[in-house]
Structure 1
Amino acid sequence: MTPGGETRRDAPGPSVVLAVDSGGSGLRAVLAAHGTGYRPASGAGTAAGREGLTAAAPIALSDPLTSGEPVRTGPRGISAAHLLEQLLPMARRLMDDAGAVRLGAVAVGAAGLATLGDELREELPAALERELGVRRLALVADAVTAYTGALGPRAGAVIAAGTGMIAIGTDLTSWRRADGWGHLLGDCGGGAWIGRAGLEAALRAFDGRQGGSPELLAGAEEVFGPMPELPGRLYPRTDRPAVLASFAPQVAARAGSDPVAADILRTAARHMAESAAAACPPDGEPLLALTGGLFRMGEPLLAPLREELAARVPHARLVPAAGDPLDGALRIAVALADGRLTLPQDDRMLSVVAEKPYPEIDALNSA
């Protein structure tokens, strides 16, 4: 406390970590305890627990705060100013509610960081140190937070599929990624890919071309109206990937009765399995998890995917994802604060910025 009774940001007091998940649906932020802030996995301490799927996870101190507005992208990539405009009020509110005066570390997971993150890497460390007193910061690609939320610090691979699709893996010495190139160049098997393939089959049926699906045509007209109007409804949109992905559940709903829809999902599963095979460590028995909203489509997609994975990555063990990307950012923030971050670092996928006096982080960066 100062003589006037005000709390100093650099005063001793409860230390917490801040985790951030910035993606296509907005920005989420949450605080967690560190040091002693852990809960055991279900069955921990038993043989089943030791073989279980959930590593020790940080305990969030409250529900996440959510902005609901995606962070903008400008000429220099992801906008640091727009991210800070949303994040700083959320961080201060979370800290005030928790009675916390110090941030032991911050982990910011951001969609597009690997290719569009130059501005964040240049501006965020100094801004967060100035505004919140942050001395330990991890900037993390959303694929890495998805991986860490699903598997924790273990060797393996994760298929992250929603509107897009990426596979990421690690042997704990380096990261391997496959696809994730966006809906124009890749994301093969993701929601936008499935939706686009379904709409193409609908248009083939409308034209009378081979390979069309009358069932998908009926579904497309139900969702989008008359087919001649579809290009005008789709092409001017800035959120075309999301619009395409919105049709993916229609494809899944018809896969049981329509061989064209079933074949689209089988092909999507093959693409995902190919990416998983490229990203997965080749040796041992790595873990493999699925994460992302696309898998809520259930068995029409999961059944062919299990078959494709068994054929293409037979040495991997398929396990349930333990958590989501925000959980992954929490794990990274806590490990960074406690000086035990073991995930491999990479300039674009997972980079740590630490100011003195944190010599153990300097040693970690130079390892």
Structure 2
Amino acid sequence: MTGAGDGFLAVDSGGSGLRVVVGAVQGAGRAGRESREPVRTGAGGIDPVHFMEQLVPLVRAALPESGVDGLDTAVVGAAGLATLGEALRAELPGALAREFGVRTVALVADAVTAYVGALGARPGAVVAAGTGLIAIGTDLTHWHRADGWGHLLGDCGGGAWIGRAGLEAALRAHDGREAGSARLLVCAQEVFGPALEVPAKVYPRADRAAVLASFAPQVAACAADDPVAAGILRSAARHMADSAAAVCPPDGEPLIALTGGLFKLGDPLVVPLEQALARRLPHARRVAAEGDPLRGSVRIATGLATGSLTLPGDAVLLSVVTATGGGAAGRTADQF
């Protein structure tokens, strides 16, 4: 398809794959598709060629069901965009223009789409927790982020962090060291095999963070009657509250929302987190997340297309490229 239309494309690219929604800016016609294959990340960052190889078939399949004649606006929310997105920023606007006639492209960090999906354009903070963890906040003038440094350097309190701490406690029990957990050792051996085999099941894996995070549910399951497991989750909650406090606006009555699959662990994590947030941020109000990062991409796309976007721009976290007769001109949302 070539030429511009009145439709939008919203994308959520993360560790579990790629999700898209194609829809009309005005009207109810929308269609979605998803791929379970994550976009590759290499030495040059997020691979724009593989991104388009994944994206194009999804969009082509969704367009006939959407009732949209063409695409004018695209919003791409991508995990790793802030630190690994240089090639994607350089290549994607042109690729979308050539393939679908898109004229305006917003490149958005997944933390921002998570925020907008959860709270919309309201001041506050969002803790997004899955395999990793990042907190993001805004006073609607600037964005502020905390953590999101990956499982080797941060993501404190995230799924990989909890799983690693649980496995460490299990191996402490195996060695006879203090602060070990015999209960977690049993769980670790059920999942990974004998203790001596655990390092070989973790270290060589390219998806090491996901492997570590896969043990987080076992930690939560043990928390009710294992003080070590319960202590790990309390520590995770404190880390999350620290990150939320670092980004939450200090004035007014900002909102706080939690989003991401890690919170499916339930009360063993959520209860101590609610307590920690109440201590650290007594002026903020906890609310339920309204939606997920894909909903955030849709909200940004419709706001951008109708000229009603009020979110702050940021060269790394939220930038917009508009095609012109002579090429592409970059701008950020605060210039609208």
TM-score normalised by length of structure 1: 0.87
Q: Which runs of 5+ in 1 are unaligned?
A: 1-7, 38-58
Q: Secondary structure at the match of 2:211?
A: helix
In structure 1, distance between residues paired with 2:67 and 2:114 = 29
In structure 2, distance between residues paired with 1:104 and 1:129 = 9
Contact 1:205 1:214 in 2 (8 A): yes
For 2:9, give the aligned amino acid: L
In structure 1, distance between residues paired with 2:274 and 2:206 = 34
Contact 1:216 1:251 in 2 (8 A): yes
For 2:250, give the aligned amino acid: P
Contact 1:157 1:287 in 2 (8 A): yes
In structure 2, distance between residues paired with 1:227 and 1:118 = 41
For 1:178, give the aligned amino acid: A
Aligned-residue CA RMSD (Å):
1.6
Among residues 145, 155, 162, which one is paired with 1:187 in the alignment?
A: 155
CA, structure 1 residues 122+335, in 2 after alignment: closer, same or farther (shift >3 Å)? same
Among residues 55, 61, 64, which one is paired with 1:87 in the alignment?
A: 55
- Residue 99 of structure 1: how far off its partner (Å): 3.3
Does residue 10 of the first structure (1) align with residue 3 of the second (2)?
A: yes
In structure 1, distance between residues paired with 2:332 and 2:257 = 31
Deviation per CA, 1:274-327: give whole Å up to 9, x if none: 000001011100000000000001000011000000000111100000000000
- Residue 97 of structure 1: how far off its partner (Å): 2.4
Report what 1:61 is aligned to: 30
For 1:226, give the aligned amino acid: P
Report what 1:30 is aligned to: 21
Contact 1:198 1:251 in 2 (8 A): yes
- Residue 66 of structure 1: how far off its partner (Å): 1.1
Contact 1:168 1:175 in 2 (8 A): yes
1:290-301 equivalent positions in 2, closer than 5 A:
290-301=258-269
- Residue 157 of structure 1: how far off its partner (Å): 0.4
CA, structure 1 residues 191+332, in 2 after alignment: closer, same or farther (shift >3 Å)? same
Does residue 203 of the first structure (1) align with residue 196 of the second (2)?
A: no
- Residue 223 of structure 1: how far off its partner (Å): 0.7
Among residues 246, 254, 259, which one is paired with 2:227 in the alignment?
A: 259
- Residue 364 of structure 1: how far off its partner (Å): 5.4
Compare 69-78 and 21-30 and name the one that shifted more: 69-78
Rg (Cα) greater in structure: 1
Q: Secondary structure at the match of 2:98?
A: helix
For 1:28, give the aligned amino acid: R
Structure 1's consecutive aligned runs of 4 or more residues displaced over 4 angstroms after TM superposition are 361-365
Percent sequence identity over matched residues? Answer: 65
Deviation per CA, 1:93-131: give whole Å up to 9, x if none: 211222322213110000000000000110111111111
Compare 150-159 and 68-77 and name the one that shifted more: 68-77
TM-score normalised by length of structure 2: 0.95
CA, structure 1 residues 364+9, in 2 after alignment: closer, same or farther (shift >3 Å)? same
Q: Secondary structure at the match of 2:30?
A: coil
Among residues 241, 251, 262, which one is paired with 1:283 in the alignment?
A: 251
Report what 1:56 is aligned to: none
Report what 1:106 is aligned to: 74
Aligned length: 332
- Residue 192 of structure 1: how far off its partner (Å): 0.3
In structure 2, distance between residues paired with 1:137 and 1:366 = 15
CA, structure 1 residues 308+270, in 2 after alignment: closer, same or farther (shift >3 Å)? same
Does residue 142 of the first structure (1) align with residue 135 of the second (2)?
A: no
In structure 2, distance between residues paired with 1:282 and 1:103 = 40
